[in-house]
Structure 1
Amino acid sequence: NSAIAYFEEQVRLAKTNLNKEEDNLMHYNVEHSVINYDNQSKDLAITKYNLDDREELAQRTYKSAVALRRMLEDKMDIRAKIIRDNTKLLKELEKVTELNQNILEQEIFSTDTELKDNEQLRQNRTDLRNSENRISQISDNLNEYNFTKEGVGIDNMVTEWLMACINEAKTKAELKVLHERRNDILNQYREFAPVGTQVKRKERAIGIAEDTYREQLRGLSEARLRLQNIKMTTANLQIIAPPEFPLTDNGRKRLLYVVAALIGSLIFITFYFLIIELTDRTLRDAERSHRLSGLPVIAAFNGISNLKFRGFLKVCNRRAAAYSCHQLDRYLATGRPTVINLLSMEEREGKSFLAKYFADHWVSVGLRTRIVKHDVDFETNDKKYVRAQQLSDFWQLNSAEQIPDIILVEYPPISTASLPLTVLKQADVNLLIANACRLWGKNDDINLKSIKEMLGDTPLSLYLNNADREVVESFTGELPPKTPLHSFVSRLSQLGLTAKKAAVK
């Protein structure tokens, strides 16, 4: 049955491929106007040979007509002179008539004074005399030609000359048409030359597809024949030993095995997560962070990693920033700027990201906030920074800026750069920004220990960034979107089993 199913699928694919190749050839023939390439190319060659014969006959006729016309023109030189002189005589007569008319108009419509000064009139009279002299000369020439001996038999010669001209024009037009037809046939040759190759190629592809289709059909027929043979062979088989079933019921023992496996799985999973909980040194939440670092966790921030609630991400971040700023409001000084230092153990912990949200919140409540960044507002490789005793030693406010209420100083990472500990000690509060997904290693304990010893009583708190939504909600409360299911799970996680959300009148 598997072989039959396989060959049926292969037959279907081969049939589809064969139809595709045939349709491709059909569309190609329609596109290039090909019905039968062999017969069309043969008829085109025959047409070209017939055209060559007809063109050769037309060439002979044309050349004989041209030769006859030239011979007659040579013998009709006198007659041509007569015709030319007659044409000149008619032109001169028309010119004399026009000049007489012009002279008469000028004499009638002009005064005697105007006639004396009219240069055009004098020029017309001169031209009139010249034309009359030429007419007299042409008349004498015509009389002389009429009485010469070459003028005898000119009429028959003119008739033959006209017939020769007619034959020349006819054959010339026929040659033009034959040349156009030749160009048309040559263009058809250029078009049919690649068509033959493509047609042969497509026919070859159809032949291959057809052979494949036939082979698959043969395989399908053999598989069906084999199945039928097996059916006929096994039709007479008889059962010698009937099947035996278990005489006792093993269901209770099987149930014990299932229960034991369930209990063992629960114990293994519990111990697995318990070991991870006790040995894992990832910051993750506030309790674990406080246990690993020894610093109080002031707040947590969601960051940008939560894709499930990305539509409410900015709202949640603003709410978390507002909570953090409310916690920091107790450190705000009066009469001078409040300095808040942002520290981190490693790079890309999110200091700039948090500083922007803090500044936006304080600006919204009317407090001027200035963000001071390392490598932008001050250089960390300068000796003034390393030996600084106060913030003004390596950074000063621009004279054009107003004195801010809050100064957020973003320092380089503790693991890669030195920090002016004296300046940190003079700050109002120091925040250590840490990624909740990072490992808190022993080197972090060593670096933090020296900083804590130097700061003494200066507040130093840990701020978790990129924390889970549940960690942030442990500080800020439930975050949007506030769905019923999420609210129920939140109350359940805090053991609020009988709590109700109702306003007090």
Structure 2
Amino acid sequence: MEFKLDILNIIYFIRLLLKHYLILILGPVMLFALIFHLTKDEPKVYTSRTKIYTGIATGANLTSLESSKVDRQSTITAFDNLINVINSRGTAEEVGLRLFVQHMLLEKPTKEIISRESYSNLKRIVPDEVSQLVVEGNYEETYKNFLNYKNKDFENFIYELSYLNHPVYSFEKILSKLKVRRLYSSDMIEITYKSNDPGICKQTLQIFNEVFVEKYSAIKLVQSDAILKYFQNQLDDAQVKLDRSEDQLLKFNKQNNIINYYEQSEHITIQKERFSAYYNELKMELKASEAVLKVLEDKLTVQQKKELNNAEIIKLRNQIAELNIEISVKDYQAEFDTITDTHYQDEIADMRAKSFQLQEKLRNSINQAYFIDNSVDGINSTSVLNQWLVNVVAYESTRAKMLVGDEKNKEFERLVKEYAPKGATMKRLERKIDIAEKEYLSILHSLNVAKLKQQNLELNTNLKVSEEPNFPLKSEPSKRKILLLIGMVIGFIIPAFVIIALDFLNPNIRNVANAQKLTKLNVISIFPNMVKRAKRRDYGELKRLSVNKLFQGIFNLVNGVENRGPIKAIIYSTQDGEGKTCLGNFLLEHMNAKGFKCLLINHKENSEDSEIEQLVFDADGETLKCTSVSNLVKNKNVELSTYDFVLVELPSINLNNYPVKLFSDADLALLTVRANRSWSSADKNALAKLEKQTQHLKQGVILNGVELDEMEKMIGEIPGERSLIRRFIKKVISFQIYSKKLK
């Protein structure tokens, strides 16, 4: 059935529901009675509330000493975390266990904690094994005993109390009666708890405040402690690295006798530069002394030279040279050493005096050895020897200084070679210390920041109960009346929905639109269901209107057909029991009343008492070969030309044999279909087989057994008696309150 939202559909649905009024009445009544019975012992419900100040959005911040900056997403996340902690299973479990401990410590019920009825129910179910765990007057010890007992296995009383559906101590029941919400955009949260015992309601909320505050603070501080521990460990590692690097530098300095590498290397460089200048001067002096000695020795005779090389003079000369070397060493130490001592001066003075004595001895030895007054060039020999002696002393002194200088030069070279790689090592060790120190300072800074944040967390996680849980004196209004009302509404809506749904899913033909859609033929008339008759309906008038509609439809079909005698019509159906015989009798009786002479040719004897002229033919045998209506009445002494209308009724074409070619001689064909059945593939195939024989025919469908509601769509208002109220309701629904018939 196509659904269109119009007045007829509204009336149709109302009529459909009225047909099943008993179901629509029994449904609400039964559901009302069921809810009434189930809620007769409904316990009272008490509600307690508490408010907590969190400081999440506008709390103080140690880092800025001002209110913390409001970050909407961070604030939402923080509140979600807090609410999730409150609504967590662990929190509810601990609350239930602590509440159980509180009740078990009572010697008698107290109104502010637990009612007498709840206390009696508790004592009745607690086994002696659990009761023996109670430590009188000691809450924490009792709690520890109960907790250990609960955790020892999964089948003990306390574990089942927490995990099964106990209305007071089960975590699932506790969470189902708990409601947490943030108060608008403030720093406050409101926690609401409902219970049938006002004392339990208040105490549960009181314990909730203690447990969740502790858990939330612990979670936040554990995170902070983990960060602090990490940075502390990193700081300890950095300290070890720094100490190890500094120890390596200290060890290096000790091994290499370094006090201050950069000052020492600078001092060595300065000393080397000064010594280089001094060393060059010595070279020049030594060369000059050698040259002067050579000139002087060239002026001496061979005998003089020979005398100068005697053992005594050479010995004195060597002593003077050795002493000059010692003096040069002491002079160098006094002049170039980093640390000087005053005893150097005394030693140098003694050695110079001793050198002077040796020089005097050498001079005396030379004077004794040589008695010649003049040289070969006429120069005074004493003068030449004196000059030679002076230059020998100077030469030996310079040569001594050169010997010491060579050693010192080698020492400087050794120091440079030694200090050069030490500088690179020193740089590497200092760089290592610098990196370790920076790493240490960076981690130390991070540790200080983490400690500051920890203090800030401790400040912000210090939740405050701004409104303590109240003891509810008045229970909430009962919802029994609302439940009863809802039950009645649901008891009506569900059956009504099922009735309408089944009507939509009904596969029967039912109405004109479906009949035309399935048969692909026009419906010329409809007839009501004569078997199932409604009260206060004039079925005689309904039959007259339907037959009149059929009569008019037939003449509309044959209008324009060439008149070659009587109108020959075939009435047929695809299935048995469609009402062909009855409808044919109605039609022919109506036509007889109108003055038409009619003949009914039927495949069976008509059992009804009727004045209609009729003939019976055999639907089997030779009749199947009939090609015209005349063949059916052959040998019957009937003249068809004397009749105005001839109606031939065939057996159901889907289940019986019938003369197919008879359709080629007919003027029109009337298919009879029952409305209260479905249209099957067999019906469709039966019509398809007749398609070639009926192409030239005028065809129509008679829809039989139609419900009265569908009749109204084709013939108008159904004739019958109606009460004043029913007529008024129909006018209201169809918006015809003020409509009147015109004369």
Structure (1/2) with the larger helix percentage: 1
TM range (shorter): 0.3 to 0.5
* TM-score normalised per structure 2: 0.32
* TM-score normalised per structure 1: 0.45
- Bigger-Rg structure (1/2): 2
